[in-house]
């Protein structure tokens, strides 16, 4: 089920909210039961078979965490149980996500024609597997207490607001909230407004940029130009931001409506003045997961320079691979690994001397090029697009199609660039503090426009559902 669907907004969510709030706050177990049941229904709506896999993963990790805890209580290290849990978790993820990629590469490398069936990826598997692994690591390291109630752990893993596309919530960040949550009208109001903002980002902006991107990619080579290629890349840059940050807003908002507080996943990444800063602002929950459970255990930056470079490349290669079973994602990850190394060891002082606008431009060019790898089906297609963007080949600088696309989308592009900065939301908050009615009108308008758009549009899933 999609957050941005009539079924979810006008049927599923109101029913779940009504049942949830009909139960008095002191009966937290009953409220948790409602949320768990709703989460299972939400997931099984599109994945009637794979809901079993999620239940399995919840029970498996719950049980293995108990084993680690018991072993440590008896004086052991818990290492064997930790290894067993991580191997099984990664095996499940790999079986669905990387099996086809592996077989394709074996066939390509050895000139074989082994037939294989590419399995459909269970939605959200990358997110909930990483959540489960963070819990296992934390129990092993003793940074969180073990959860003795399997249903409560299942609720943590399957909680529908963040189940499908994050943020990747660490168990220790919500452990207390599973037992005790404070219900406030302010919290509910904040959650509802955040949800509406996220809905607007997805339905009104991301889908519009998606349509522009699609119209550029559908152009035959004869109608491509340097500026058109940049226009397509810019459209995707804005689409993926509004799509994914819109989903995160909806997830955080829904969490607040049910009295959960999730950490922020985006902090206006497109205002960054270096790529290092960009990665502190983009998909924060994934970056912090890799930093905490891969980068730091590898030694982080407290090692020799060559080892540090290797650590960075491992982490960024894995970050790329997490996004998808394709060389495009691996190259995309390594591309960032190399740029972050360059920024850390070579460019930092030089960048600091540049004016703010130049640093911002540099960051956005790097990020926009990076999204080309992300948006294309194959590496060949990505290289070709990048080639066109830099004038490689007999492509004109601009042509009639470029001017048509610019003329018909200029306002949208200006609006997108403006809304991806922090200024509009700050201005909105200031204005609504003085005039609450202004906020209600704005949110009502966004909800109305989004609903109208949903009624007339076709299936439009979030980009991050693929991961």
Structure tokens at 306: 């060559």
Q: Does 120 bind another protein (CB under 8 A)?
A: yes
Rule CB under 8 A: is residue 56 a binding residue for another protein? yes
461 Cβ neighbours under 8 A, 6+ residues apart: 2
In the complex, least distance from residue 330 CB atom to another protein, rounded to whole angstroms: 17
Tokens representing 92? 């499940």
What is the DSSP annotation of 415-462? Answer: HHHHHTSSHHHHHHHHHHHH-HHHHHHHHHHHHHHHHHHHHH------
Q: Is 142 left (phi over 0), alpha (psi -120 to 50) or beta?
A: left
Burial status of residue 114 (CB atoms within 10 A of its CB: 0-12, 13-18, 19 or more): exposed
**Residue 100 in contact with another protein, rule: CB under 8 A:** yes
Catalytic residue flag (residue 69): no
For another protein, which stretch binds (CB under 8 A), given 49-57, 280-288, 297-305, 392-400? 49-57
Min dist CB 126 to another protein, Å, is 13
Question: What are the structure tokens assigned to 395, written together?
Answer: 């492509």
Compute the distance between CA of residue 303 and CA of residue 228 in angstroms, rounded to an integer: 45
Q: Does 92 bind another protein (CB under 8 A)?
A: yes
Asked whether the bond before 167 is cis by omega within 30 degrees of 0, the reply is yes
Kindly tell me which residue out of 17, 86, 88, 449 binds another protein, with binding defined by CB under 8 A: 88
Are 453 and 203 in contact by the 8 Å Cβ rule? The answer is: yes
CB under 8 A: which stretch of 264-272, 283-291, 341-349, 453-461 binds another protein? 453-461
Distance (Å, whole) CA 197 – CA 250: 8
Residue 49 binds another protein, judged by CB under 8 A: yes
DSSP summary character for residue 343: I
The reply to whether 317 sits near another protein by the rule CB under 8 A is no
Return the residue of 21, 45, 63, 188 that touches another protein, per CB under 8 A: 63
Q: Smallest distance from the beta carbon of 369 to another protein, in angstroms?
A: 24
Site track for another protein across 66-85, x = CB under 8 A? -x--x-------------x-
Window 337 to 396, contacts with another protein (CB under 8 A): 377
Using CB under 8 A as the binding rule, the residues of this chain from 162 to 201 that contact another protein are none
- Report the catalytic residues: 323
Binding residues for another protein (CB under 8 A) = 49, 52-53, 56, 59-60, 63, 67, 70, 84, 88, 92, 95, 100, 115, 117-121, 218, 377, 458-459, 461, 466
């Amino acid at each position: 089920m999609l957050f941005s669907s009539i079924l979810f907004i006008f049927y599923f969510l109101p029913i779940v909210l009504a049942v949830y709030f009909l139960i008095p706050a002191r009966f937290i177990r009953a409220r948790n039961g409602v949320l768990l049941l709703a989460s299972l229904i939400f997931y099984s709506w599109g994945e009637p078979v794979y809901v079993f896999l999620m239940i399995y993963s919840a029970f498996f990790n719950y049980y293995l965490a108990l084993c680690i805890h018991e072993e440590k209580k008896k004086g052991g290290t818990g290492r064997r149980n930790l290894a067993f849990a991580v191997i099984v978790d990664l095996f499940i993820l790999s079986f669905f996500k990387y099996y086809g990629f592996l077989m394709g590469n074996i066939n390509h490398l050895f000139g074989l024609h082994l037939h294989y069936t590419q399995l459909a990826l269970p939605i959200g598997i990358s997110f909930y597997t990483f959540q489960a692994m963070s819990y296992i690591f934390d129990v092993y390291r003793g940074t969180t207490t073990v959860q003795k109630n399997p249903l409560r752990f299942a609720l943590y893993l399957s909680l529908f607001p963040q189940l499908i596309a994050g943020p990747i919530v660490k168990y220790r960040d919500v452990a207390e909230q599973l037992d005790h949550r404070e219900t406030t009208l302010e919290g509910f109001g904040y959650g509802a407004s955040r949800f509406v903002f996220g809905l607007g980002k997805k339905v009104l902006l991301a889908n519009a940029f998606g349509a522009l991107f699609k119209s550029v990619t559908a152009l035959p080579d004869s109608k491509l130009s340097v500026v058109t290629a940049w226009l397509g890349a810019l459209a995707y840059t804005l689409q993926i931001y509004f799509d994914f940050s819109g989903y995160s807003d909806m997830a955080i908002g829904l969490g607040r409506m049910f009295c959960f507080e999730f950490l922020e996943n985006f902090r206006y990444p497109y205002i960054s003045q270096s790529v290092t800063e960009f990665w502190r602002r983009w998909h924060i929950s994934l970056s912090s997961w890799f930093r905490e459970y891969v980068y730091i255990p590898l030694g982080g930056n407290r090692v020799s320079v060559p080892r540090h470079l290797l650590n960075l490349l491992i982490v960024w290669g894995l970050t790329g691979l997490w996004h998808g079973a394709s060389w495009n994602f691996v190259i995309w990850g390594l591309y960032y690994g190399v740029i972050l190394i360059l920024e850390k060891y070579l460019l930092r002082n030089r960048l600091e001397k540049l004016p703010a606008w130049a640093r911002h431009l540099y960051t956005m060019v790097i990020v926009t090029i990076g999204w080309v790898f992300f948006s294309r089906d194959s590496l060949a297609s990505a290289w070709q697009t990048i080639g066109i963007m830099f004038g490689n080949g007999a492509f004109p600088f601009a042509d009639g199609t470029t001017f048509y696309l610019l003329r018909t989308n200029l306002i949208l592009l200006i609006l997108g660039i403006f809304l991806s900065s922090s200024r509009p939301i700050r201005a909105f908050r200031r204005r609504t503090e003085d005039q609450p009615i202004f906020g209600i009108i704005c949110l009502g308008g966004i909800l109305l426009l989004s609903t109208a758009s949903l009624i007339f549009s076709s299936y439009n899933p979030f980009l991050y559902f693929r991961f």
